[in-house]
Amino acid sequence: MASLAPSRPQPAPRYATPLVADAQGDVFTRAQAVAAGWSERQVDRRLASGRWRRVVGRGLTARSGPDAGWRRAWATQLTWPESVVALTDAAVIHGFPVSREAPAVAYSPAGRRPLSGLSALRRTLPDEDVELAADLALTTRRRTAHDCLALLDWPDALDLYAWLSTREVVTRDDLSGWALTETSCHGTPQLVRLLQVTRHGAVSRAEDLLHRVLRGGRIVGWQAGVRIDDAEGRIGVFDVVFARQRLVVEVDGHRAHSTPTAFQEDRHKQNRLVNAGYRVLRFTWRDLIDHPDRVLAQIRCALNEDHR
């Protein structure tokens, strides 16, 4: 009777991936592919032909489309198992409106050399700064906000601060506390700069421009960064509010309002404002740059409605 020798696992069809990828955000490594039955040569051929491609680090996928968020997070931890996913990939997972084209970054206590689009920050984070999501270690919402504001390019950080502050994820007191306690840390000068730029109430370049348009038009009676509540609780923090006339003026920066989640959230908040008795005017950056007189005219018209 012939002996039954253990058979080598056979790969699935040529466009398939190792089964383990199903539980890893469609990401796998070369080692996992070889363990599942593909030869080193087959892996090389699939990468060369584009059937498979590299995400970051050692992470591979057969999927197309953007990689930021879950896919890059899995690629990061498959590459450096001890790492904590951070910055823009953690931000995407937390729902922050950040650029999906930034390099992948992770905290690694051992320190690591950059590897195929993946870089490391050498630091051990305290437990309160780390959370688990779908078996992945990533920075918490608050820690992610801190890191992005400190380390992203300045325009991106300023736009993100507008989104975070109006949702009370981060306050100016948070910025001040971070700046005072992290005086020697990389990124602290940018936190100090954010404090200086937002000291008059504007939390983005667009809001600062709106304030200048209002002051240039000698329109008074408004406040910046006002929280409004209704029977359900907090609706949000709004750019400019004329409390007596119950008029809200919002300026929509592209990044903070361009994602499907942000778009849906904005509409829900506006409906709640209307039901709470407020009128809402919305302007864009281009409105403020190209047609400031028209912006002023529309605001004056809304303010004068009470006297008709």
- pLDDT tens for the chain, residues 1 to 308: 344 444 455 554 545 899 999 999 999 999 999 999 999 999 999 999 999 999 999 999 998 877 778 999 999 999 999 999 999 999 999 999 887 777 789 999 877 888 888 998 888 899 999 999 988 999 999 999 999 999 999 888 888 888 888 788 888 889 899 988 887 778 899 999 988 887 766 667 788 889 989 999 999 999 988 889 999 988 988 889 999 999 999 988 655 445 566 667 778 889 999 999 999 999 998 999 999 999 999 999 999 865 54
Query: What does DSSP say about strands 130-133 and 136-139: parallel, antiparallel, or unpaired?
Result: antiparallel
Cβ(72)–Cβ(64) below 8 Å: no
Q: How far apart are CA 96 and CA 145, in angstroms?
A: 9
In this prediction, residue 208 carries a pLDDT of 81
In this prediction, residue 262 carries a pLDDT of 63
Instruction: Retrieve residue 157's tokens.
Output: 């950080």
Of the chain, the end-to-end C-alpha distance in Å amounts to 102
25 burial level (CB within 10 Å; 0-12, 13-18, 19+): buried
**Sign of the alpha-carbon torsion through 130, 132, 137, 138:** negative
- SS3 state of residue 144: helix
> Residue 47: how many CB atoms within 10 A of its CB?
14
- SS3 state of residue 244: coil
In this prediction, residue 50 carries a pLDDT of 93
Instruction: From residue 254, give the alpha-carbon distance in Å to each of 211, 249, 285.
Output: 18, 16, 8
User: H/E element holding 255?
Assistant: helix 254-257
